[in-house]
Amino acid sequence: MEVAEQTDNARRGRRSRLIRFVAIGVVVSFAAGLIGGVLATQIDSGSSTNTEPYTQVTAAPVVSTDDSAQITGVAAAATRLANSVVTISSLVNGGMGEGESTGTGVVVTSDGEILTNAHVVEGATEVRVRFAGDTEPVTAVVVAADAGNDLALLKVDAQNLVAATFAKPGSVRVGDQVVAIGYALALDGGPSVTTGIVSAMRRTIFTDSGALNSLIQTDAAISSGNSGGPLANMRGEVVGINTAVARGSNNSAANNIGFAISVDEVLTVLEQLREQASGVPRTEGFLGVSLEARNDGGAGSIIATVQPGSPAEQAGVLIGDIVLAVDGEPVNGQAGLVAAIRDRTPGDSISIDLVRDGERLTVSAVLVARPQD
C-alpha cells in the first residue's frame, strides 16, 4: 500500500511525497511542514550566522505532581496552554527551490527552550518562532534534533516565557478526554483547538525514517501545521506532542486517527536532546538480532539471526523465537525493534517477551554499545 507523507501547505506550494508503509493499511502523513526523512541526530544549529557558543538551559520542564486536580472544560484547558503554544516557520532549500513550512511548538522553559517535531525543522536554513499575541517572529536555533523519535529542541533569546506543564508520566489512559492545539494549515490568528479522546496507547507506525513507537492514538482532529503542538488533558497539561495523522487509501478508510508522542517518551528524549546540545555524544544500545515478519497473521516478529557473542545470544535468544515485546513495547519487524530499544543506552537491562515452541517466556539482556559502521 502506498502511504503519503503529508507536507504542510507550505506557502510555496511544496508537494507531498509518497512513501510505502508495511502492514498499516492506511496512509499515515506527518501533520506539519517538510518531512524529515533521515534517521539521524543533528546537534549543530545549522545556521552559518550563529558563531557564538551556546549556553545550555538547565531548567527542568514543569511536570505535574497533582493526582487530584479538578477536571475542567475544553475552553479552560486551551486557555491554560494558549501562551505556551507557538507557531514555527522554517525556510528550506530543496530540489524545487526555496520553500517555507510551518508547524507548532511548545514552550518548555521560561528562558527559551521550545520543543517541536524534528520534521518541522528538518533541512531548515532558518527557523523563526512567533509567540501568542505577537505580530513579529524571532529567530530560533535548532540546538538538537532526533529524527528517529521525531523531536527537536529549539532555543530563542527570551526570558519570562510561559512554560507549559507536562502531565505526570503514566497518567494517560484510554478514554481520557484530550485537546489538540496547534496552528493548523498556518491559518491567521490564534491556534486551532480540537477535542476528542485517547483512543489507544502504545501505538507504532512506520515511516521512511523508521518506526515511531509509544504513540498515543486520538480522534481529536489533527491537521497539517499541528505537528509539534501539544495534546493536552483537561487540566491543560501536555500529555503528548502531535506528530502524525492517518489518511485512507483507495482500499481503506481512516477517520479521526491521529498520533502524538506520549509524555513519557517526550520527557526522556528531551533530556537526551539537552545532552546532545551540550556536546555529549549519544551512544545507542545494541541487542544483536535481526527480525523477519510473520506471514501467518500472528503477533510479533521472528528472530532471523542472532549475532555471536551479542547480548541476545548471552540472554538465550534463539533463531526462530517469536519476539512479542521489548520492555512491554510491542515489536513488529526490524524497525519496530529499533524503535523499542533506540532510547536505551549501553548497560541498560531489557526484558524480551518471546514465544518458543508454543510456550511464552521472558528473558533479560544487557545492552552493549552499537558497533560503529
Residue 364 annotated to the active site: no
- The C-alpha angle with vertex 366 and arms to 361 and 368, in degrees rounded to 5, equals 140
- Of 84, 227, 262, 310, the active-site residue reads 227
Residue 119 annotated to the active site: yes
Residue 349 annotated to the active site: no
| Cα–Cα dist 312/335, whole Å | 17
Residues whose CB is less than 8 angstroms from the CB of residue 116 and which lie 6 or more positions away in sequence, other chains included: 88, 103, 104, 105, 106, 151, 152, 154, 227, 228, 241
- Of 29, 90, 119, 223, the active-site residue reads 119
**Helices marked H in the chain:** 74-81, 118-121, 263-277, 311-315, 333-341
| Cα–Cα dist 351/364, whole Å | 4
Pairing status of strand 62-63 against strand 165-166: parallel
- Of 150, 264, 321, 353, the active-site residue reads 150
| Cα–Cα dist 115/35, whole Å | 16
Q: Could you tell me if 116 and 36 are in contact, meaning their C-beta atoms sit under 8 angstroms apart? A: no
First-to-final CA distance of the chain: 32
Minimal CA–CA distance to 336: which of 307, 299, 373? 299
Instruction: State the cell numbers at 32.
Output: 506539519
Give the catalytic positions in this structure. 119, 150, 227
